[in-house]
A and B are shown apart, each in its own frame.
Chain A
């Protein structure tokens, strides 16, 4: 427990290093998110964004440094242990339970946090808390009409919504979103940002995103990762104005599409 609100970062990375063979993917990253903060992680392809995400969520163990969730080390723990400590993530490549219904996909996301664990002596239909929470999620994500449809039969945009729905279902306080709007049309993206903003309200958010519109819309702060090192961590406006960042990452293409 934090002695004072805000004194312990919700998520912190200290001198985080990752090396695959002879390649340094992350070269000592220090990053800290205050509770309730929304941070976007941007950077060119191969900068190490996905690696950083995987280190924080438990897919891989870092070569050096530490990851702390609410002040406690989580690096090296398996994904389910990290999830149980309050960090949940989404995937860039949609990762659902394809043969199960939308309702069941969401309900599975709810079960652990309600303490049902590996229960096999109680019927799901009698678990009112799980079912009503799933109904709320269905409503929030706009998936009610498809509740009984297998996830694999959903349209791509709805699968993305379900992906986020599963991620937030258990009420984790720290949410990691890996390119949530990847592959969506412009119109879908705009709607989707509003949805993400709404369902992650009050939680700590770290997202990887290539769409600069999404980044500047959603994030309080932006971290720029280039070749395994943090180039800048600043407000969207600050990052936008940073000449180093513009040169290293945003480049000419960004200056042209920059919105007023």
Chain B
């Protein structure tokens, strides 16, 4: 039975935490190349950033368009602190730098969040957008502090090593990120089970009623915003340490958008959704972008698909599939082959068209040929275009023909799950 701590406050099972800790401790040993150490660091940083973002979006119903302000300001203060240590004017353990970032995030979110959290909904979103633009513009006006377009660099190997740890290697850095990630995830998870964490859900659901049971909704949102800012700043501080560089894009709207997109892709209604989102973020930025130049287009499509069809995100999809697999999955057997085959064909056809278009536009110098899923395609040959188009159309036709039956069966599955839920645990 899945445990749902957000309902009655009963304690969650401890074993997922044990596994997570073990995985975090072992990962840098198993994947020991410098690339994987970097990827692991990026993953941990993304986890903290996305979870802190979801404190606003999923738990507080606050759609922020400016989360990069708090990760970015955290990163800037961290890199300057590190720089001061490089110059010998400041003495501090390097492992504490992310906390400096956290304080910067806390302070800036405390001040700017006071303005934003006066309002909720659309107005809140607009204020965060305005503040983000403001901060990004101000940052470019003070190149002495923010380094202008060139950014700010520093060296994380500084001062005397503590217990032989000098953070010279990517692996040591990955372990530092891992430690901060574990503690942050634990703290953010615990937050959801505190009075303020629960009242944040209440304010999300119905701010008016929250006011009539003694809570000032603005105050609840403001404190939550500041806490979110703290963890965002920690993520920023870790990033500053890991890359030893902070550029203006760290504060930019694109970065804020990335947090939003991947948190939603991972799923905002589950605590661990943003962790899934963070994994997607690192994988798509590091791997998908290597595979195809059209990765941003695929990302946009995936985002649209999620928002329209899977509001629970990938985490919601995983939880849902698990429940279906534990029970009424045989109901779907007759429609599954049609839907799967149709989906694969249509997806492959569409991707082939996209790849050929991109190839034609951007890679003319490489010649007309490209390899897609092991197939040799040629953007000058009508046959290639026809084949891709045919795959897309046949796939769509298959989906269309299987859809009515699939929807009927899906409704039955939902009904079965709902009935099973009434006497047991349910969401």
Contact = CB atoms under 8 A, between A and B. Distances in A.
A58 B223 CA distance: 23
A116 B206 contact: no
Contacts of B10: 125
A103 B7 contact: yes
A76 to B, nearest CB: 15
Nearest to B199: A108
Interface string A74-116: 0000111001100011010001111111011001110111001
A258 interface: no
A147 interface: yes
Nearest to B421: A149
A109 B213 contact: yes
Interface in B377-427: 425-427
B21 interface: no
B213 A147 contact: no
A111 B193 CA distance: 13
A79 B212 contact: yes
B149 interface: no
Interface string A155-174: 00000000000100110000
B205 interface: yes
Contacts of B195: 111, 116-120, 122, 124, 127
Contacts of A123: 9, 190, 193-194
Interface in B1-32: 4, 6-11
A57 interface: yes
A189 interface: no
Interface string B178-217: 0000000000001101111111011011101111111110
Contact of A108 (B191, B198, B427): B198
Contacts of A120: 191, 194-197, 223, 227
Contacts of B278: none
A169 B206 CA distance: 17
Given A116-B195, A120-B223, A131-B9, A100 B214 contact: no
Given A95-B206, A101-B7, A124-B194, A118 B219 contact: yes
Majority secondary structure, B binding face = helix
Nearest to A119: B195
Contacts, number: 127
A36 interface: no
Contact of A88 (B9, B213, B223): B213
A72 interface: no
Contacts of A113: 214
Given A116-B195, A124-B193, A84 B214 contact: yes
Interface string B306-331: 00000000000000000000000000
Nearest to A163: B209
Contacts of B7: 100-101, 103-104, 148
Contacts of A104: 6-9, 198, 201-202
A121 interface: yes
B79 interface: no
B51 to A, nearest CB: 15
Contacts of A127: 195
Contacts of A121: 194
Contacts of B63: none
A251 B198 CA distance: 48
A53 to B, nearest CB: 11
Contacts of B215: 80, 112, 118
A117 to B, nearest CB: 7
Nearest to A118: B196
A183 B388 CA distance: 58
A148 B206 contact: no
Nearest to A148: B7
B213 A100 contact: no
B220 interface: yes
B314 to A, nearest CB: 20
Given A97-B205, A97-B206, A150 B194 contact: no
A249 to B, nearest CB: 29
A81 to B, nearest CB: 9
A89 B9 contact: no
Given A125-B193, A148-B426, A100 B201 contact: yes
B8 to A, nearest CB: 5
A118 B212 contact: no
Contacts of B204: 99
Contacts of B426: 148-149
Contacts of B208: 79, 95
A79 B10 CA distance: 31
B198 A166 contact: no
8 contacts: A96-B205, A96-B206, A97-B210, A104-B198, A117-B195, A118-B195, A123-B9, A148-B4
Q: Identify the 9 closest CB pairs spanning chains A and B, nearest first.
A: A112-B214, A120-B196, A101-B7, A97-B205, A79-B211, A116-B195, A125-B9, A119-B195, A83-B214
Interface of B: 4, 6-11, 190-191, 193-199, 201-202, 204-206, 208-216, 219-220, 223, 227, 425-427
